[in-house]
Amino acid sequence: MPQYKKPMSNEEFNLNFAQIKPLMSDTEAYYESSRCLYCYDAPCITACPTGIDIPLFIRQINSKNEQGAAKTIYDSNIFGYACGKVCPTEVLCEGACVYNHSDVKPIEIGRLQSYATKKSIDSGKKHFNFKAPIGKKVAIIGAGPAGISCGAELSLHGVSVDIFEAREKPSGLTVYGVAPYKITNEEVLSEMEYLEAQYGFKIHYNKFINTRSEIEELQNAYDAIFLGIGLWRSSELGIPGEELDQVTGAVEFIEDLRMQKHQTQIGGKVIVLGGGNTAMDAASESCRMGAADVVIAYRRSHEEMGAYAFEYELAKAAGIRSLFNVMPVEIIGSTSVSAVRFVRTKVEDGKVTVIDGTEFTEPCDWVIKATGQSRQEDLLDMIGIGRSKSGNILVDGEYRTSHHKYFAAGDAVSGGQEVVNAVAEGKKAAKAILKNI
């Protein structure tokens, strides 16, 4: 059962959502950096999608050259601070650290990374020399990790960059989606301000690109267009009762939580439908918002869940319960939800099948749907962008879409990975754009 009291103020919210990777002090960073073995062919570098030279930046921290360490990090990953806090380091750099082989705690690479980059953010230190303007213009749709990474790399190489963002804040899901106990809004936005001041790209906020005339305008005014639009709203389940009050999508609930904090509406008994990382986040967050009972309901077994084991453990520690091998068939209620009707399932030849006569009803006050995200099909159809069967944008080895003027990367192409993957792909796409404009 969740142990959290409903937060009634921002202070109480911050306590319930205390940072799981808090910033290191100077002494902690010095001690931790001195444990690194500076491995030759360091496996931690290979495990990082952006290929940060981890032993180098750790050595720089240890020799009190924090600004040098920050430059090493930003050279490879311009979301250096955010990634230090939000990356699943357990399965990336820290999971690859050689200390794991001797049953010794791996180096806390993520926290060291945030420690060093915070020094540059706080001092506004500029690390890079920009090439002279090359007379080319690129429009970027979406100021998420992919869009900003692409824009920063292009700016470094003398391209004039305009980023068009539907929302009023930059960084995409980093500020609107990631769990608040991983990174605060203030932390995300101070890194974004630092980047915008350093790289000089212009972000046009509240600019949702979705009409034919807007698209034509961009196509006429720019040499290339990069789509960093990510995924879209939470997917529908396609069962009766989804329209009831207090039935919401996980992405919408988490966006509300990040913006409204303690004022977010949730409580009583919450059922979260899904078995991925987003479901774990939504469940954990519901507990921390003071819900009395939070149940994750997943149509396959525990072993088949898409969520990382450590995310499931985090949700369990927050007080969730789980129902495995169950599938929702109806959401019940008059105006608001009052229960979910489930049927039990089994998996045969990899496929989920229902077991007849096993229906049961689980009462609840809220339902959070966390079974995936939809795509912006209308926009992509309007431009004429080819997609895979699952709706992801198809690109060639140069990140070019089926429309010669459009390039794409990030979640819109991968179908949903991590911030660090979107940053890595956005930068690679920028290099491809530079070759092609």
Element containing residue 115 per DSSP (H, E): helix 109-123
Q: What's the CA gap between 64 and 60, in Å, rounded?
A: 6
Bridge partners (DSSP) of residue 271 are 295, 367
- Cβ pair 369, 247 in contact under 8 A: yes
Q: What's the CA gap between 259 and 248, in Å, rounded?
A: 16
Residue among 342, 410, 408 nearest 373 (CA)? 410
Q: How far is the CB of 39 from ligand SF4 (least distance, A)?
A: 3
Locate 431 and state its tokens. 């290099």
Q: How far is the CB of 297 from ligand FAD (least distance, A)?
A: 18
Which position has the token pair 């142990």?
3
44, interface contact from ligand FAD, ligand SF4, none, CB < 5-8 Å by kind? ligand SF4
Helices (H) and strands (E) in the chain, counts: 18, 14
Interface characters, 89-128, with ligand SF4 (x: CB under 6 A):
--------xxx-------x-x-------------------
**With binding defined as CB under 6 A, does residue 251 bind ligand FAD?**
yes
Q: Which of 379, 408, 432, 433 binds ligand FAD (CB under 6 A)?
A: 379
Task: Report the site for ligand FAD in 263-292 (rule: CB under 6 A).
Answer: 278, 281
Closer Cβ to ligand SF4, 64 or 105, answer by number: 105
142, interface contact from ligand FAD, ligand SF4, none, CB < 5-8 Å by kind? ligand FAD
Which position has the token pair 């699952």?
390
Task: Please name the amino acid found at residue 187.
Answer: E
Question: Looking at 13-21, 22-30, 95-103, 225-233, which segment touches ligand FAD (CB under 6 A)?
Answer: 225-233
Q: Which of 42, 52, 229, 315 binds ligand FAD (CB under 6 A)?
A: 229
172, interface contact from ligand SF4, ligand FAD, none, CB < 5-8 Å by kind? ligand FAD
278, interface contact from ligand SF4, ligand FAD, none, CB < 5-8 Å by kind? ligand FAD
Question: Looking at 9-17, 60-68, 190-198, 246-254, which segment touches ligand FAD (CB under 6 A)?
Answer: 246-254
Cβ–Cβ contacts within 10 Å for residue 347, how many? 13
Bridge partners (DSSP) of residue 253 are none
Closer Cβ to ligand SF4, 35 or 125, answer by number: 35
Task: Report the site for ligand SF4 in 20-79 (rule: CB under 6 A).
Answer: 36-39, 42-44, 54-55, 58
Q: Which of 54, 61, 209, 295 binds ligand FAD (CB under 6 A)?
A: 209
Q: How far is the CB of 109 from ligand SF4 (least distance, A)?
A: 6
Closer Cβ to ligand SF4, 49 or 145, answer by number: 49
280 by Cβ neighbours in 10 Å (0-12 / 13-18 / 19+) ranks as buried
Which position has the token pair 């959290």?
4
Helix/strand/coil for 265: coil
Bridge partners (DSSP) of residue 340 are 331, 362
The two most distant CA atoms of the chain are separated, in Å, by: 71
- Cβ pair 415, 232 in contact under 8 A: no
Contacts with ligand FAD by CB under 6 A lie at 86-87, 141-147, 164-167, 172-174, 177-179, 182, 208-210, 228-230, 250-251, 254, 278, 281, 376, 379, 410-412, 417-420, 422
